[in-house]
Amino acid sequence: MAQILVVDDSSTVRNEVGDFLKANGLSVVTAVDGKDGLDKLKAHPSIKLVVSDVNMPNMDGLTMAEKIRNEHKNGAVGIIMLTTENSPAMKERGKAAGIKGWIVKPFNGPVVIGTLKKLVN
Amino acid sequence: MPQVVSKVLVLDDADAHFDSLKAFYEECGLVGIRPQQTGAANVMAILKSNVDLGGIMLYENFGGKGLELAREIHASRPELPIFLRRDAISSVAGLHEKDAGMFRCAYTLADLQQLRATLDSSIFSRVYPNDLVRGISEFTRNSLQSLFSGCDIDIETPYLVKDRIIYGEVFTMISIESHWCRGYMMFQTAEEAVLGLIRRAAGKEGANWTFRELNNVLGELTNLVWGSFKNRYVGHDNGNHNLQTQVPIIINHRSSYISFGSEDPQLCFKYVLRERNRPDAIPVPIFQRFVFNLNWSPEAFRENPSIETLVESGELELF
């Protein structure tokens, strides 16, 4: 089964998003920051989509996305940011890193789930 | 959204003048609270509790010992301005120099306008844009609602405090950085009350939850509100202001006291969470405080003009 990696330093968000995705039939792996996200992505080749926060300790979500594309040479996995950030400059940086989409918190599961399923498939 | 108000402790037992004073307070945006008992011990007990005061309105002959009480209050809470009502003289004339220094001003019932000017310069020394006050309460309510979906959220009238007392046992703090204001935002609450809310909301899984889960929820609340503040009020070309200035923040755990090194009042909001399926449960307050101690330039305040075109919260914007 295709897996989704949820990366957020807040366990509240990891639980909320993870539980919602699982309840909608998706398999979920979680990570606590960008570094952990890279490790989990490497350890779980079946991950097809990453849903990540931007502002996190140790490594932020945009840096993680850039490393996924540039250092790990992984262009196949889809990346979506789930964040309170909404600045055009950050979105531009995200686009340049091949991010597929941007969700402004708080997470609204029903609005997002249909699109996520299409991206995973 | 109503105007921003401030609570004052009224230590004045001249009941004959109470109605006129009350009317004056309302006109000035003050909410007067009076102690049930007038003894000094009772007054000091009130001050030790968290009442979020903007100042003290003291009558010189309150309980027959107005000056004595003023000395005790000033020694214990020097950050609270004391306004002295006198019978005959609208000044501190006749008081010992050391005593006179305790009072922000002295006034009589005949010259309340003099008091008003002093209130404006001490308690209401900062004017917060209405759009800012309304916006903060709106997006904070939305953030609370997303985290406490089983609760109704009420918002009390925003108010200014000179107090530095921390409410409850848990507080979060995040720095606010923008081209027009710099400072901090805090949330303060009681651990058990909010932990009870999130445990019940989580059902069986929440039975063993501890303060760590509570910390996570409050941390996310702080993150969501700061994100909303930033998206709405901080320009995206936010690179020209001086971010180097910092001042020490002093926290005294024993006295539940926090100082940001500024005499300016804090802008406070009180949100009350009521569980929908437990109407008899005690409502849970969460306090939100803003202190703009590093920069306050409201003339440069503006809402981001692109706000209407921004993607709605929670929706996925595909690239």
Residues B180-190: what's their mean pLDDT? 93
ipTM: 0.81
pLDDT for res B315: 72
Q: What domains are there in chain A, each with its CATH number?
A: 4-120 (3.40.50.2300)
pLDDT for res A53: 94
pLDDT for res B308: 43
C-alpha count within 13 angstroms, C-beta hemisphere, residue B302: 9
The more confidently predicted of residues B303 and A78 is: A78
pLDDT beyond 70 at B240: no
pLDDT for res B195: 93
Fold of B5-122: Rossmann fold (3.40.50)
pLDDT beyond 70 at B80: yes
Along the 121 residues of chain A, how does pLDDT read in single tens digits?
Answer: 679 999 999 888 999 899 999 998 889 999 999 999 999 999 999 999 999 999 888 889 999 999 999 988 888 899 999 998 888 888 999 999 999 999 988 888 887 787 777 777 6
Nearest by CB to A112, from B220, B230, B316: name it: B316
Residue B313: strand pairing partners: none
CATH superfamily of B130-307: CheC-like (3.40.1550.10)
pLDDT for res B90: 87
pLDDT for res B15: 80
Round to whole Å and give the CA distance between A102 and B319.
Answer: 8
Round to whole Å and give the CA distance between B250 and B281.
Answer: 36
Tens of pLDDT, residues B258-272: 888 778 889 999 999
Round to whole Å and give the CA distance between B91 and B296.
Answer: 32
Round to whole Å and give the CA distance between B80 and B58.
Answer: 12
pLDDT beyond 80 at B172: yes
Going by C-alpha positions, the residue among A7, A65, A53, A66 that lies closest to residue A31 is A7
Residues B113-141: what's their mean pLDDT? 90
pLDDT tier at B68, thresholds 50, 70, 90: very high
**C-beta atoms of A12 and B223 within 8 A:** no
pLDDT for res B243: 54
pLDDT for res B311: 56
Q: How many CB pairs under 8 A join A and B?
A: 88
**What are the boundaries of each domain within chain B?**
5-122, 130-307
Spatial contact of B84 and B103, defined as CB atoms under 8 Å apart: yes
Q: What is the mean pLDDT of chain B?
A: 87
pLDDT for res B244: 60
Nearest by CB to B318, from A55, A86, A101: name it: A101
pLDDT tier at B42, thresholds 50, 70, 90: confident
**C-beta atoms of B224 and A99 within 8 A:** no
pLDDT beyond 70 at B97: yes
Long-range residue pairs from B141-145, CB within 8 A, at least 24 positions apart, any chain = B141/B271, B142/A106, B142/B228, B142/B313, B143/A106, B143/B221, B143/B224, B143/B225, B143/B228, B144/B221, B144/B271, B144/B273, B144/B286
pLDDT tier at B1, thresholds 50, 70, 90: low
pLDDT for res B256: 84
B interface toward A at CB cutoff 8 Å? 142-143, 146-147, 213, 216-217, 219-220, 223-224, 226-228, 230-231, 236, 310-319
Nearest by CB to B227, from A84, A91, A100: name it: A84
pLDDT for res B222: 94
Segment 59-118 of chain A within 8 Å of chain B by CB: 80, 83-89, 91, 94-95, 99-108, 111-112, 115-116
Nearest by CB to A111, from B146, B147, B316: name it: B316
Share of chain B above pLDDT 90, in %: 47
Best mutation site among A104, A115, A120 for testing chain B: the one with the most B CBs within 10 Å? A104
pLDDT beyond 50 at B307: no
Round to whole Å and give the CA distance between B271 and B159.
Answer: 12
Q: How far is A45 from chain B (nearest CA, A)?
A: 24
* Prediction pTM value: 0.84
Phi-psi region of B256 (alpha: psi -120 to 50; beta: other; left: phi over 0): left
pLDDT for res B148: 94
Residues B99-123: what's their mean pLDDT? 90
